[in-house]
Structure 1
Amino acid sequence: MTVEELMREVLALDASTRANMAHQLLSSLDSLSEAEIEQLWIEEAVRRNAELDAGIAGTVSAEESLMNARARRA
């Protein structure tokens, strides 16, 4: 199962279950060192760059990103 497949399945769960999962996942990060956290961010940046290069993902302007974030908060 890919991360994307897992994410689709998790997002289909009810809100309470997702909240519990989110809490457990976030709690698991507390034990990581600064170096481990930095490495995870590097890996995420590399993954995102590969998606851009492959045409799987696109970019949005900062303005559009802020508008989307504000719309979700409303």
Structure 2
Amino acid sequence: MTALKQQQLFDEIDILPIDIKTKIVDKILNSISPANKTIDDLWIKEVNKRKNDIEADNISLVDGDEVFKKISQRLK
């Protein structure tokens, strides 16, 4: 693909609505690293477990900023 054609493609992408852009990104990522249904199913199971734990107050949540602050302190 020539540099001019690449630039034309990029220009076209720039004006697309976000939902189409995300579909393009998904398509590109899947072409680089195809989805693995087994792994996806395991992640869905884990997400649902964590969601249930949060809703049942079985775990305590920590603010993300606090986590990064503690990490930063440890690395100093």
Q: For the superposition of Structure 1 and Structure 2, which TM-score range results when normalised by the shorter chain? A: 0.3 to 0.5
- TM-score normalised per structure 2: 0.43
Larger of the two Rg values belongs to structure: 2
- TM-score normalised per structure 1: 0.44
